């Protein structure tokens, strides 16, 4: 099959189109003919070496996969050949540890992340994924929409509903709001009945974000935007911050958080550190929580939200797999509002 392979970390030129052996599904795996794969910022930081935990080279990038099953292993019972499916961000979980048994399979110690290990990723014509990590795509949901359900939208569902526990009437700040996770977290928070504030450094992106947020904070890079957030919240600050950026915005986010607020860590775009005194949180009864990808149940719920029109996937374009280096360069520059996908060539092409 044709696939994009990273054999050494580096710039976009590290993404090389190669011909590699077709995957052979194991007993619990389904072989998916990839119809579309989202290009996530995690793909970028894995490729350039910023993210290194459990990364095994060489690798096929891509963890936002949707397509059609063309073969199933002997122990697969929930899926059949011809089913349209979408993936969580993983290719394997054990299914029996305390995390897997309690709905926390994102923390399974045996988990294998798509696009980082075992040459299993969505930048390819095929991917073999265990059935615990798949969900059926409902009628009316396109392959492109389904591809970004697990990560770009499902992560926001996890952050807003299950980790942040956003309540009706609360004030929610979403940083990096124009990114794939951010722009969908805005929609989920708004559907939860929150007053939603989007943060961006781009005036052009602010116009698009105004369709999904109640207010948009625009500021120059390095500028403290917390006065704008407090002005929008009658001086109180945000009850919940959905943080898709991390270190670069740490101080303005801290100043934007209300008493008893919840700070939900979703993304970290650099490998930098910050000096921090924990008293700055506990004296105001604030909490820092983290989100680690999406469970299968969250993926299934996300697909239903898309099917019902509660969330509209924001797709900035669908490009050829061969052009993924240019796509990643755009993501790295922050030029994308929403999510760009790549489509592998049809088998035999």
Cα angle, residue 243 at apex, residues 235 and 109 outer, rounded to 5°: 145
Domain assignment present for residue 304? The answer is no
Q: How far is Cα 209 from Cα 203, in angstroms, rounded to an integer?
A: 10
Question: At 292, is the pLDDT very low, low, confident or very high (cuts 50, 70, 90)?
Answer: confident
- Reported as a single tens digit per residue, the pLDDT across 7-37 is 999 999 999 999 999 999 999 999 999 999 9
In the chain, DSSP assigns E strands to: 2-5, 16-19, 29-38, 65-72, 84-87, 90-92, 112-113, 126-130, 134-136, 171-174, 195-200, 215-218, 238-243, 257-265, 287-290, 315-320, 339-343
Of residues 80, 74, 112, 113, the one with CA closest to residue 94: 112
Task: Tell me what the mean pLDDT of segment 158-184 comes to.
Answer: 96
45-54, 135-144, 187-196: which has the minimum mean pLDDT? 45-54
pLDDT at 274: 80
Q: How remote is the C-alpha of 25 from its chain's centroid?
A: 25
pLDDT at 107: 92
Task: Tell me what the mean pLDDT of segment 131-151 comes to.
Answer: 97
Instruction: Give the CATH number of the domain where residue 159 resides.
Output: 3.90.180.10
- Reported as a single tens digit per residue, the pLDDT across 230-243 is 999 999 999 999 99
Residues 136 and 81 in one domain: yes
Domain assignment present for residue 295? The answer is no
Task: Tell me what the mean pLDDT of segment 207-228 comes to.
Answer: 94
pLDDT of 328 higher than 90: yes
Dihedral sign of CA atoms 299, 39, 208, 144 in order: negative
Query: How many structural domains comprise the chain?
Result: 2
Enter the tokens of residue 304: 């239903």
Residues 41 and 144 in one domain: yes
* Residue 52, domain extent: 2-148+313-343
Q: 327 by DSSP, 3-state: which?
A: helix
pLDDT at 170: 98
Domain assignment present for residue 300? The answer is no
Percentage of the residues of the chain whose pLDDT score is greater than 90: 83
pLDDT at 151: 94
């Amino acid at each position: 099959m044709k696939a994009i392979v990273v054999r050494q970390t580096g710039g976009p030129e590290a993404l090389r189109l190669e011909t590699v052996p077709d995957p052979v599904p194991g007993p619990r795996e389904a072989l998916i003919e990839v119809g579309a794969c989202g290009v996530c910022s995690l793909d970028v930081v894995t490729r350039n070496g910023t993210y290194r935990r459990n990364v095994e080279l060489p690798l096929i990038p891509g963890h936002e996969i949707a397509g059609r099953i063309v073969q199933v292993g002997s122990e697969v019972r929930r899926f059949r050949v011809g089913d349209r499916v979408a993936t969580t961000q993983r290719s394997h979980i054990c299914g029996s540890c305390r995390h897997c048994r309690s709905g926390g399979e994102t923390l399974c110690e045996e988990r294998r992340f798509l696009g980082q290990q075992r040459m299993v990723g969505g930048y390819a014509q095929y991917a073999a994924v265990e059935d615990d990590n798949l969900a059926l795509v409902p009628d009316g949901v396109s392959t492109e929409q389904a591809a970004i359900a697990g990560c770009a939208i499902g992560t926001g569902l996890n952050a807003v509903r299950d980790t942040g526990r956003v309540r009706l009437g609360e004030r929610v700040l979403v940083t990096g709001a124009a990114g794939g996770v951010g722009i969908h977290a805005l929609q989920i928070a708004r559907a939860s009945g929150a007053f939603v504030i989007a943060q961006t450094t781009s005036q052009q992106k602010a116009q698009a974000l105004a369709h999904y947020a109640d207010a948009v904070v625009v500021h120059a890079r390095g500028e403290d935007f917390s006065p704008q957030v407090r002005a929008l919240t009658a001086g109180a600050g945000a009850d919940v911050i959905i943080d898709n950026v991390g270190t670069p915005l740490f101080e303005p986010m801290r100043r934007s958080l209300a008493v008893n607020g919840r700070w939900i860590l979703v993304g970290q775009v650099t490998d930098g550190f910050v000096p921090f005194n924990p008293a700055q949180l506990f004296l105001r009864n604030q909490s820092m929580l983290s989100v680690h990808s999406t469970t299968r149940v969250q993926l299934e719920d996300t697909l239903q939200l898309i099917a019902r029109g509660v969330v509209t996937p924001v797709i900035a374009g669908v490009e050829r797999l061969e052009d993924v280096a240019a796509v990643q360069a755009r993501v790295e520059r922050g030029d994308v509002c929403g999510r760009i996908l790549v489509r592998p060539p049809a088998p035999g092409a």
